[in-house]
Amino acid sequence: MKNLWFENNEGVERLIAAVDNWDDVYCCINAFIDQCNENKKIQSKEIYGDEYDESKVRLFESHYTRIWQQEDGRLKIDVGSWDEFFLTDLPEERIKIK
């Protein structure tokens, strides 16, 4: 079992899942993004109350994925946010192109 971390825009990492394979990695990343989007909707409803309009809430959508190896051996996964990343210690040779 290997790990999947989320690195925020301040460089702070937190463990978000234990993963066995790349299908697990992609599933966990998508679930994490979905949960962040749901949290954003909830926060917007609390802020705007009766004036809340879901069509105006800017949700994150991943349009690409880039992966590279860091000096510490972990793989950094960019899903398009520019300053937030996912990291895993799964072996590089197990990457599957989808």
pLDDT tens for 40-92 read 999 999 999 999 998 889 999 999 999 999 999 999 999 998 899 999 998 87
Cα distance between residue 72 and residue 47, in whole Å? 41
Domain of residue 37, residue span:
2-94
pTM for the model stands at 0.86
Number of structural domains found in the chain:
1
Cα distance between residue 89 and residue 74, in whole Å? 5
Cα distance between residue 87 and residue 56, in whole Å? 31
